């Protein structure tokens, strides 16, 4: 499992680990958590909404594709602040994603599938897919904007 060391961005350290079934009923619970957190960390309601959407899309993809919409799979979500932003790591033990199909949809296509991965890439600053043993990881980072009250960390590199 990828290990990311949390850091404290100016007294707003946050670290949470969620374990949930691949049940669509939990989507709204995760959305509420992400929205509340991103607003608290200082993002505008518009950006908070887009981050919430990206995480919802990532979770939806795991439910649909890793577990074929079965509600009994297991999904782990780690959320943590790091020096440069907020990291979301979603992990499942279902089917690995087909890397050839990720973002294969053309942006102006009228096909109904593949919309979610484009949203994730458009909203997040870093998106990494990894398979480690049986774990399929999706690690997404949203950078803090330069206007955040962490001038000593602005523009620095890795966590």
- Per CB under 8 A, residues contacting other proteins are 24-25, 27-28, 31, 46, 49-50, 53, 56-57, 60, 63-64, 107-108, 110-113, 115-116, 118-119, 122-123
> CB count, 10 Å around CB of 58?
22
In whole angstroms, how close is the CB of 88 to other proteins at the nearest point?
16
Name the residue among 34, 61, 48 with its Cα closest to residue 123.
Answer: 48
Cβ proximity to other proteins, 50 vs 91, nearer residue = 50
Cβ proximity to other proteins, 100 vs 107, nearer residue = 107
- Answer whether 85's CB lies under 8 Å from 143's CB: yes
> CB count, 10 Å around CB of 28?
10
Structure-token pair, residue 9: 């961005």
Cβ proximity to other proteins, 55 vs 82, nearer residue = 55
In whole angstroms, how close is the CB of 56 to other proteins at the nearest point?
5
């Amino acid at each position: 499992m990828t290990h990311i060391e949390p850091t404290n961005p100016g007294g707003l350290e946050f670290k949470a680990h969620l374990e949930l079934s691949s049940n669509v009923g939990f989507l709204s619970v995760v959305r509420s958590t992400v929205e509340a957190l991103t607003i608290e960390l200082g993002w505008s309601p518009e950006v908070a909404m887009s981050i919430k959407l990206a995480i919802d899309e990532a979770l939806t993809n795991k439910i649909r594709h890793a577990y074929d919409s079965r509600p009994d799979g297991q999904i782990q979500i780690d959320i943590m602040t790091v020096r440069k932003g907020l990291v979301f790591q979603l992990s499942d033990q279902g089917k690995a994603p087909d890397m050839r199909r990720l973002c294969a949809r053309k942006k102006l296509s009228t096909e109904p599938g593949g919309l979610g991965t484009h949203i994730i890439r458009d909203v997040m600053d870093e998106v990494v897919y990894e398979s480690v043993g049986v774990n399929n990881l999706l690690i997404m980072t949203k950078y803090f904007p330069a206007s955040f009250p962490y001038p000593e960390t602005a523009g620095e590199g890795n966590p």
